[in-house]
Structure 1
Amino acid sequence: MSLTTAPYISFPGTTSEAMAFYQSIFGGELEVLSYEGMPTEGFPVKPGPDAVAHASLTGGALDLRAGDSIGDDLPSPRSSVYSILAMVDTASDGDDLIARFTDAGGTIEMPFLPAPWGDTYGEVRDHFGVMWQVLSPGTA
């Protein structure tokens, strides 16, 4: 059996912006498919033509899929029950990654410091509400 996995995030109408931001950080190829021109007859909700049906970021340091939530009571991606772990080569790379998130409006949730298990670890929440754990081997 061949199997691959990727996180999928439902954004409240910000998928295009979020995925372009992630591409700017992690590289890769971004494909975005809107509902415009799609037959949506029979859908339980009516998506706007600019709503993103599906987006994929592949081929860089992140394999991620996403789409816009549709409906009246849209959930936020902000949660403490999930996060995405970004593993970098050095603590300097971790500092740089966290700076890219915070420069765009993200907030540090846990400072990037030596962890009790011997690595350097921290957490940053991006301006879309997604939590990122950043881990580098060894300490700075």
Structure 2
Amino acid sequence: MDNPDQGPTAGLTPHLTITGNRAKDAIAFYEKAFGAERAMDPYLADDGKRIMHAHLKINGGHLMLNDDFPEYRGSAAPEAGPVTLHLQVDDADAWFARATGAGATVAMPIGDQFWGDRYGQVTDPFGQTWSIGSPIRK
């Protein structure tokens, strides 16, 4: 069981590295596009500029993120990787519209899919791909 004061204690939690010192912008975007809530205030690095750790909750799940710290890993994070973050939601059309209205671009138009979901994909301004789905209403 998750403790909202301590963060996720089980399961799998995506942890994104945002390039270009734009983690603060990413947090604001995720709040607007996906209704993210801050589970804690972001921790700043010693330089007082970059976010070392941020923890958000989106649609009941957890998302962690940080600015890039190439001095700790030797290379910058990729702008867009082979990972897609999936949101299973109550109304895919509404979530899709909110995300594109906030500035996400359409990667796959939303539509009825053979597996029974209303589904589409968007790319956020930070290069991350998000899929959004909900059961097809009959």
Percent identical among aligned pairs is 27
User: Which residue in the other structure is 1:75 paired with?
Assistant: 77
67-76 or 49-58, larger mean C-alpha shift: 67-76
Q: Does residue 122 of the first structure (1) align with residue 120 of the second (2)?
A: yes
How far apart are the structure 1 equivalents of 2:57 and 2:102? 22
In structure 2, list runs of 5 or more residues that go unmatched. 1-8
Q: Computing the radius of gyration over CA atoms, which structure comes out larger, 1 or 2?
A: 1
What is the deviation of 1:59?
7.3
2:17 to 7, 10, 22: 10
| 1:35 counterpart = 2:45 | yes
Between stretches 114-123 and 2-11, larger displacement belongs to 2-11
How far the C-alpha of 1:7 sits from its partner, in A, is 0.4
The residue number in structure 1 matching 2:60 is: 61
Amino acid of the residue matched to residue 95 of structure 1?
Answer: D
Q: Alignment partner of 2:70: what SS?
A: coil
Q: 1:85 is matched with which residue?
A: 86
4+ runs deviating over 4 angstroms:
none
Instruction: Give 2:108's aligned amino acid.
Output: M
- Tell me the CA shift for residue 127 of structure 1: 1.2
Q: Tell me how far apart the structure 2 counterparts of residues 3 and 75 of structure 1 sit (CA, whole Å).
A: 26
Label 1:60 to 1:132 Cα distance change in 2 as closer, same or farther (>3 A): closer
Q: Secondary structure at the match of 2:98?
A: helix
Query: Which residue of 1 is the match for residue 31 of structure 2?
Result: 23
Q: What SS does the corresponding residue of 2:60 show, helix, strand or coil?
A: coil
Structure 1 portions without partners, runs of 5+: 37-47
Normalising to structure 1: TM-score of the pair?
0.76
C-alpha RMSD over aligned residues = 2.2
How many Å separate the matches in 2 of 1:7 and 1:136? Answer: 21
Q: CA offset at residue 14 of structure 1?
A: 1.0
Asked whether the 8 Å contact 2:35–2:58 carries over to 1, the reply is no
Shift in Å, 1:139 = 4.6
TM-score, length-scaled by structure 2: 0.77
Preserved contact between residue 59 and residue 89 of structure 2 (Cα < 8 Å): no
What one-letter code is carried by the residue in structure 1 that aligns with 2:26? A
Return the alpha-carbon distance in structure 2 between the equivalents of residues 139 and 58 of structure 1: 26
CA 1:127 to 1:59, structure 2 compared with 1: closer, same or farther past 3 Å?
closer
